Structure 1
Amino acid sequence: MDAAASPTPALDRIRVGSAPDSWGVWFADDPAQVPWRRFLDEVAEAGYAWIELGPYGYLPTDPARLREETARRGLSVSAGTVFSALHRGPAVWDETWEQVSRVASLARDTGARHLVVIPSFWRDDKTAEIVESPELTAEQWHHLAVGTERLAREVRDAYGLTIAVHPHADTHIDTEAHVERFLDATDPSLVNLCLDTGHYAYCGGDSVELIKTYGERIGYLHLKQVDPAVLAGVVEQGTPFGPAVRQGVMCEPPTGVPALEPVLAAAQGLGVDLFAIVEQDMYPCPPDQPLPIARRTRAFLRSCGA
């Protein structure tokens, strides 16, 4: 058989989903965002079976109601998401745990097994004002590592969830050097990574190399691509992440980088079941924009074998 005609290998360890983020949802309540019912209707219509909770309070927070709303659309919840500032030390633990408990409880009660943990921004997420140094001190790195391990243990013990820490632009876990420092400082039996292909490329990292080097630490995937032309301007101008998104730095696959086919193949090669959740940052966006993109993205991922 001609190799070009060979069927695409099935990525049978990859479970594809999407998230409110791909519908322009960044906040629990914002008139610029599509209503939650429309998101659920359209994500199912686009062909996805898995979703994330998004910002706490965007989707119904009563687990029975949310289970009913998702089940009748053929959807299941893969994870919840929280933000944390654990580099600030024990003083922020109670505040962190209060937020984590709400999200982890809802995630557990809707059948999810994962909690995605995003480090806090060193810029204000709305004004882009720099509020902290982009570089942590040695003491802050220690607080971050110890605090994350504590969070992983307590989330596991209280809610039966595993955490996946999400390297993210404009946070302290962003570049290859920062991601490797964080992984090397934390217990592999407790702390996994949510590899977001777009954020990692935005910050200069190579997702395939990260999977090859730290494969045992990859517990979850976010699928995203960056427009290299827009990114070049962002880097040159020092544009904050929020305005960069409004400029279209995150783009529809397969038009950007990294190529997702080798990322998915490398993830499949790990031999473990992984969620791969599509997240195309595009806040704010016209309400009719997300569904056609979501349909095309789902078709593209099917063409990759997912």
Structure 2
Amino acid sequence: MSSVNPSLDRIRVGSAPDSWGVWFPEDPQQVPWQRFLDEVAQAGYEWIELGPYGYLPTDPARLGDEVASRNLKVSAGTVFTSLHRGPEVWDATWEHVSQVAALTQAMGAENLVVIPSFWRDDKTAELIEDSELTPEQWRHLASGTERLAREVRERYGLGIMVHPHADTHIDTEEHVERFLDATDRDLVNLCLDTGHYAYCGGDSVKLIETYGERIGYLHLKQVDPRILEDVVSKGTPFGPAVRQGVMCEPPLGVPAMEPVLTAAQGLGVDLFAIVEQDMYPCPPDQPFPIAERTRRFLRGCGA
């Protein structure tokens, strides 16, 4: 690749509470939300995600003031869902989704990142359910996601971006392609997380080139291939793998960022590219220097 990168003018770079070690609405091991907002702005990011609902203020007026005072803008909210379990989970799902979607809409964002539920416990490694869905569960997942997309679009004007994620049923290349082929391209798009996809053996550039019209959002992340090899060989759950440092700052891991960003730019549409480096838990002073270095690195890539 040329040492002089073309400007990635369709890519809008941001970061998220995840890059500050935030996984939960409240947790004594996490930095206070004010510090996250201060530091994400100081590190040079313009866009943020809401993170776990309840971490940032949920009153739209207050959150709007806090974000605007730091010259930040919101790109998306995030929800977890278990739609493969069928219609009986719809009411509980919608109760959660509607809260997050309302706040996301109030912040002027247009995207809702949807993460499938884990099939094994993040901390204990206990199996919650089988790692493979039955044909009926695949049908529930597809129809439930389409229903969610329609409701979120009609009521809140948001598009859903389904996030393939380690230790969920939408993880590997095979599962991601099966999910995409089973869902309506006009309703359901992907949040491609480059780190999670690599963690599960996928090739982000190939996915962008093959299913480009379904890529609506990016999470930029890298995995340490050496630690990943150990994680895979031992069957380590995702939570402990993160504590081992399986997610690392660019350009120290895979996939290489430049080819992914170039492929995304080639789609010819505006895309958010939100930096996420899973680091739960982490020392409070660790995230900011990494965030600054990562922003500098991405500028060097043209983003």
**TM-score of the superposed pair, with normalisation by structure 2:** 0.99
Equivalent residue, structure 2, for 1:48:
45
Equivalent residue, structure 2, for 1:207:
204
Kindly state the Cα deviation for residue 126 of structure 1 after the two structures are TM-superposed. 3.2
1:61 has 2:58 as partner: yes
Equivalent residue, structure 1, for 2:20:
23
**Alignment equivalent of 2:90, drawn from 89, 93, 96:** 93
Mapping for residues 106-145 of structure 1, pairs under 5 Å: 106-145=103-142
**Alignment equivalent of 1:148, drawn from 145, 148, 154:** 145
CA distance in 2, matches of 1:139, 1:130: 20
1:183 has 2:176 as partner: no
RMSD over equivalenced CA pairs, Å: 0.9
**Alignment equivalent of 1:71, drawn from 56, 64, 68:** 68
1:255 has 2:263 as partner: no
| Count of aligned pairs | 303
Mapping for residues 267-306 of structure 1, pairs under 5 Å: 267-306=264-303
> What are the superposed Cα offsets for residues 203-232 of structure 1, whole Å, 9 maximum, x if unpaired?
000000000000000000000000000000
Q: Secondary structure at the match of 1:10?
A: coil
Equivalent residue, structure 2, for 1:166:
163
> What are the superposed Cα offsets for residues 269-301 of structure 1, whole Å, 9 maximum, x if unpaired?
000000000000010000000000000000000
**Percent identity of equivalent pairs:** 80
Given that 2:57 and 2:63 are in contact with CA atoms closer than 8 Å, whether structure 1 keeps it comes out as yes
> What are the superposed Cα offsets for residues 39-96 of structure 1, whole Å, 9 maximum, x if unpaired?
0000000000000000000000000100100001010000000000000000000000
Given that 2:33 and 2:56 are in contact with CA atoms closer than 8 Å, whether structure 1 keeps it comes out as yes
Q: Secondary structure at the match of 2:64?
A: helix
The runs of at least 4 aligned residues of structure 1 exceeding 3 Å deviation read none
Kindly state the Cα deviation for residue 124 of structure 1 after the two structures are TM-superposed. 1.8
Structure 1 alignment gaps of length 5 or more = none
Q: Secondary structure at the match of 1:136?
A: coil
Kindly state the Cα deviation for residue 153 of structure 1 after the two structures are TM-superposed. 0.3
CA distance in 1, matches of 2:122, 2:163: 16
Structure 2 alignment gaps of length 5 or more = none
Kindly state the Cα deviation for residue 4 of structure 1 after the two structures are TM-superposed. 5.9
Given that 2:47 and 2:72 are in contact with CA atoms closer than 8 Å, whether structure 1 keeps it comes out as yes
Kindly state the Cα deviation for residue 127 of structure 1 after the two structures are TM-superposed. 2.5
